[in-house]
Structure 1
Amino acid sequence: MNVTFYTSPAYSHTLSNWQTKTEMVSYVTILLLVIIWCRIKWNRRFIDRFAAKIPGPPSYPIIGSGLEFVGTSHDVMNNFIKLNEQYGPEPFKIWLGSSLALNVTKPEDLQIILNNSNAFDRGKLAELMSSAFGEGLITAPIPKWKVNRRIISPFFNTSSINKFMSIFNKKNATFILNLQKELGDSETFDIWNYVNSVSVNSICEAALGYHHDAQDKNISEFIDSMKKITEQINVRLIKPWLYPDFIFNIYGKFTGLNQLYENLFKFPEKIIKERKSQYAQRKKTNHSSLNLTNNEEKQRPIFLDLLLELNDEGANFSNKYLRDEVVTMMIAGSETISINVCFCILMLAIYQDIQDKVYNEIYQIMGESDRIITIEDTVKFVYLEQCIKETLRLYPVTPIIVRYLQDDVKISNYTIPKDTTIFIPIIVTHRLAELYPNPLEYNPDNFDPEKVVNRHKYSFIPFSDGPRNCIGQKYAMLLMKVLLATFLRNYSVHTKYKMSDIKLKFELSIKNADGYQVTIRPRDRKPIYKI
């Protein structure tokens, strides 16, 4: 039986109109997409032409070279070093989604880039970090960075830093006492928490006037939150599909990021509130704004007080501005020092002969006395400084510097087009065999003065270089010297670790995946060998 469906002319006409409109919308949409694509390709024509000439790993739509960075933070670090072994030391490209990054390692090229005003911007990395830690000195956009740098610089001049010696000695005395619980135990322990507590408490008192000590719950919560947030930023950095804020916000809801931010900011905001109250009280009692709460503090500046003074003089810093600078100060003033000191202690535990030489230098300067270390002593710790620098060579805390070009920059063999991201893998430059013979060996003699003078200045840049270098490097070096000298005066350090056991992981800063496992023994304050 045949069945015939009747369709009214009105319905057919409506359907035809709907189909026509749908087709029109489709054609217009496709046309707009083609126009947008053509515009993007036109705007990117210089980058695409440049990229076509540069070698690099395979790239795929949307994810770019993302497959090269799949895995754990240890895998990411390992794969990145392998890419440099495969394509370096000449510049090579890495696609971050649809954005071009150029990997540059040669010192002569690094000098050009790090001193070029068109390469001061830190690009996407700064954006990702500022979304978590705010716009402090490290992450601030260029105009704000210039202002912040000018304000903060006086706090880190040599005269100011030398006044922190009493804090360093006091915190290190506590460090030595805390380590006593590890004596007599044949089992190794991770020295990280002990070292980190010294660096965190030192920066809290030196920069913020916060006097509470090691077991402070507020500090512990801040450190824990910082660690977890850093892990999330690292995940986002190596996965370009998480770059859009709306996608990362969804991702953040599943990982509890909002609560972590709240915990991170709680401590800095508490310090700011307390310091503001103390500052206002001092003004009420007709004291000078620099007249601090005790005689010791009168002799040295406190970073947060300087900001409050400028605020009082019309700077109009918001609470967020103050908080961002406090967070940046705490992170930069603790993480860098803790990582390098722990790596240095591990190196000295592996290389007992080098440890003996360092101890002998300390004994020659300090003798058997219990006197505290002075500024004059730290200048004489020459071989110890070489050990610190050699540790920074092998394990630079920030293994990769990122820059974003706001205009073309010419290096030795290429003119790099603007809108290119530059990767400067310090860890790779520091391990170039033409600069450092046997580059994977720990050898403090690499920093004998006669060897240093024969190398390019930019062959060793653990604190970056150029106008946007690390403003706190003198502070870091002084505290590291005091901390290591105090530790080695009191304890010898040992480990079952070998160099081949070290597994680097990358979480914005570089760390050993298994921590820093050592044992310690008390010193008898005698020279190891005849001086």
Structure 2
Amino acid sequence: MNVTFYTSLAYSNPLCVFWQTKVELVGYVIIIFLSITWCRIKWNRRLIDRFAAKIPGPPSYPLIGSLLEFRGTSQDLVAKMIKLNEQYGPEPCKIWLGSSLALYVMKPEDIQIILNNSNALDKGKFFKFFSGAFGEGLSTAAVPKWKLHRRIISPFFNNSHISTFLSVFNEKSVALICNLQKELNNTESFDIYGYVFTISVDGVCETSLEYNHDVQDNEKTEFLDSMTKFTELVTMRITMPWLYPDFIFNIYGKFTGLNQIYEKLFKFPNKIIKEKKFQYAQKKKTSHSSLNLTKNEKKQRKTLLDVLLEINNEEANFSNKDLRDEVLTVIFGGVESTTITTSFCILMLAIHQDIQDKVYDEIYQIMGEGDRIVTIEDTVKFVYLEQCIKETLRLYPLGAVFMRYLQDDVKIRNYTIPKDTTVIISPIGTHHLPELYPNPWKYNPDNFNPEKVAKRHKYSFIAFGGGPRNCIGEKYAMLFIKVLLSTFLRNYSVHTKCKMSDIKLKFDFIMKSVHGYQVTIRPRERKPTY
């Protein structure tokens, strides 16, 4: 009765009636606005929805898409990707990344079309998640800026210039041998990753920044720790669509110390860039032709930063941030590719003693008994060693996936993929297709003998990507890895209790072994095994 009384009183009050009517009107306007917006979105993406309806894929839910299927740890993520490959491969399948459609392709024929299409050069919004650290470096830049920077930086990675770093690679390889001596009497296995990582960092920093590893070690360690923490945060963000909006991620970053991570990450390269720019200006005043280089050997051996500063003086207009973005991109890519590939390859050779013996015999036949350093001619002759490296990258590619955002429709075989679709290309998927590689989880360097390579599609092996936007540092990384491995195997034999079935993978932007790379080493007797 009291409720009825107050209700009737409210309706009899003109002011209450006015406000109630106004609230109802606003509510109707909001509902109509949302309905129109939803209809407009559905109309604009009707082609995408129509296309997606024809493609199989894991379950999808409102707002979060298929990402619920990929929740879990970084180890769970790799396991679920492998399961996806087995369930849907080799035909394309769809994955909803929040409300965005992604098409997952594994066949080499499809991959070739995508990677070489001019409308598929953009890496999409997920790579922009890394722009906080790498800015607009080669791996994250929008297409126009990428084209310009790629043209400018490419000469640094040509064969003739990379060969000038051979003395650095040899020096670092000898340092690796010396550092490992403490493990010779150790009967317990150790993780070789840390040793290779230290050497890779020194080699890449010296060739990109002319960094002297005897100084600023605290700054270097702080820099590398920050890079690791940043990649972990971004990898986590990819699987959590509620963190996709930048303003939400920035709020989340305040609680996780993201700004402090950036500060420590930028401190080291900013300091080196500042010093090098000052040196370059001084040299220019005294009319010397190159930065901090002597007239003979060092005049030809220019670091990445040297090249960028010289080109900047002639034609480019790089800001300090542009320089830092490119240096950070090269350091991260160079260190990770060299360290993880070398560590995985050593572990593979430790597990497969017969293959290790065959690699050593090849090295022995080429280099003999002495302790001479590796030459460019030697690296060309390391044919079986290269097969082992490529087979390692086939089994355990550094990048489990990479993406391309379509700026126009692209046709592959029986499909026309609509614009605004993200295409996911998975090396770990393609590299483990049984029709390409029989018994795909077996380590078999003969997969890369010339006869078998000639029979397979060119894009059956995409460890370094493909097309115009492939990895620019492939030759650099392969040369460094060859020198490291050949020097290591001349001095040590490597052993392990680990089996192939013991290896578990995780995805922290780069694919790694969960349990590290546990091995033991023994002094190598300088004679062939045959």
Match of 1:357 in 2: 358
Q: Secondary structure at the match of 2:213?
A: coil
- SS, match of residue 482 in structure 1: helix
Residue 211 of structure 1 deviates from its aligned partner by: 2.2
CA distance in 2, matches of 1:119, 1:232: 27
The match for 1:28 is: 29
Q: Secondary structure at the match of 1:32?
A: helix
Paired residue type of 2:415: Y
Say which is worse superposed, 73-82 or 7-16, in terms of deviation.
Answer: 7-16
Structure 1 residue 328, shift from structure 2 partner: 0.5
Give me the TM-score of the superposition, normalised by structure 2: 0.97
Give yes or no for contact 2:290–2:299 (8 Å, CA) kept in 1. no
Task: Provide the C-alpha distance between the structure 2 equivalents of 1:287 and 1:98, rounded to a whole number of angstroms.
Answer: 57
SS of match in other structure, 2:95: strand
Cα distance, 1:390–1:478 mapped onto 2, change above 3 Å = same
Counterparts of 1:510 and 1:467, CA distance in 2: 23
SS class of match (2:455): coil
Find out whether 1:257 has 2:230 as its counterpart.
Answer: no
For residue 142 of structure 2, what is the aligned residue in structure 1? 141
User: Are 2:279 and 2:292, in contact at CA under 8 Å, matched by a contact in 1?
Assistant: no
Deviates more, 1:479-488 or 1:282-291: 282-291
DSSP 3-state at the match of 2:148: helix
Moved more, 308-317 or 502-511: 308-317
Which residue pairs with 2:279 in the alignment?
A: 278
Q: For residues 16-64 of structure 1, what are the alpha-carbon distances to aligned partners after superposition, in whole Å with 9 as ceiling and x for unaligned?
A: 0000110110011111101110110001100000000111111111111
Task: For 1:288 and 1:298, locate their aligned partners in 2 and report how far apart those are by CA, in whole Å.
Answer: 9
| CA displacement, residues 82-118 of structure 1 (integer Å, 9 cap, x when unaligned) | 0121112110011111111111000011110000011
Q: Does 1:423 align with 2:427?
A: no
After TM superposition, list the pairs within 5 Å mapping 1:430-509 onto structure 2: 430-509=431-510
Aligned position for 1:343: 344
Q: Secondary structure at the match of 1:329?
A: helix
Alpha-carbon distance, 1:295 to partner: 4.8
The alignment partner of 1:164 has SS state of helix
- Indicate whether 1:203 and 2:210 are aligned: no
Alpha carbons of 1:44 and 1:6: their partners in 2 closer, same or farther (altered >3 Å)?
closer
2:103 aligned counterpart, secondary structure: strand
Summarize the alignment of residues 148-187 of structure 1 with structure 2, pairs less than 5 Å apart. 148-187=149-188
- Residues 56 and 93 of structure 1 are in contact (CA less than 8 Å); yes or no, is this contact kept in structure 2? yes
> 1 CA distance for matches of 2:258 and 2:523?
43
Give the Cα separation in 1 of the matches to 2:486 and 2:76.
34
User: 8 Å contact 1:362–1:489 — kept in the other structure?
Assistant: yes
Change (3 A) 1:10 1:19: closer
From the superposition, tell whether residues 41 and 526 of structure 1 become closer, same or farther in structure 2 (CA, over 3 Å).
same
CA distance in 1, matches of 2:416, 2:302: 45
Show CA shifts across 1:290-327 (max 9, x none).
56257542122221112112222353311111111111
Alpha-carbon spacing, 1:196–1:213, altered in 2? closer, same or farther (3 Å) = farther
Give the Cα–Cα distance (whole angstroms) in 2 for the partners of residues 282 and 6 of structure 1: 87
- Tell me if 1:63 matches 2:46: no
Deviations 1:484-518 (A, max 9, x none): 00010111111110000000101111100011111
Aligned to 1:100: 101
Contact 1:74/1:505, CA 8 A, preserved across alignment: yes
Structure 2 unaligned regions, length at least 5: none
Q: Is the 8 A contact 2:105 2:111 kept in 1?
A: yes
The one-letter code matched in structure 1 to 2:167 is S
Equivalent in the alignment of 2:512 = 511
Give distance in 1, aligned partners of 2:193 and 2:229: 16
Residue 93 of structure 1 aligns to a residue whose secondary structure is strand
Alpha-carbon distance between aligned partners in 2 of 1:235 and 1:6, rounded to the nearest angstrom: 52
**Equivalent residues of 1:392, 1:462 under 8 A apart:** yes
Aligned equivalent of 2:293: 292
Work out the CA distance in 2 between the residues paired with 1:314 and 1:414.
43
Structure 1 SS opposite 2:289: coil
What residue number does 2:213 align with? 212
* 8 Å CA contact 1:201, 1:213 repeated in 2: no
Q: Percent identity?
A: 70
Q: Which amino acid aligns with 1:425?
A: S
Secondary structure at 1:342 match in 2:
helix
- 1:343 is aligned with what amino acid? F
Distance of aligned partners of 1:44 and 1:5 in 2 relative to their CA distance in 1, 3 Å threshold: closer
SS in 2 for 1:274: helix
Alpha carbons 1:222, 1:264 under 8 Å: kept: yes
Report deviation, 1:171. 1.0
Partner of 1:391: 392
CA distance in 2, matches of 1:432, 1:392: 15
How far apart are residue 7 of structure 1 and its match?
8.6
CA RMSD of aligned residues (A): 1.8
SS of 1:398's partner is: coil
Partner of 2:246: 245
| Distance (Å, rounded) in 2 between the aligned partners of 1:125 and 1:525 | 50
Matches of 2:387 and 2:318 in 1, distance apart?
Answer: 41
Kept in 2, the 8 Å contact 1:155–1:161? The answer is: yes
Q: CA separation of 1:377/1:5 partners in 2, compared to 1, >3 Å: closer, same or farther?
A: closer
Counterpart residue identity of residue 135, structure 1: E
Shift of 1:337: 1.3
Mapped to 1, the partners of 2:363 and 2:411 lie a distance apart of: 47
Change (3 A) 1:181 1:27: same
**Cα offsets for 1:353-384 (capped at 9, x unmatched):** 10011011111111110110100111111100
Distance across 2 between alignment mates of 1:314 and 1:286: 18
Moved over 4 A (4+): 1-11
Amino acid of the structure 2 residue aligned with 1:235 = M
Aligned-pair distance for 1:215? 8.3
Contact 1:197 1:214 in 2 (8 A): no
Gaps in structure 1 of 5+ consecutive residues: none
* 1:118 corresponding residue in structure 2: 119
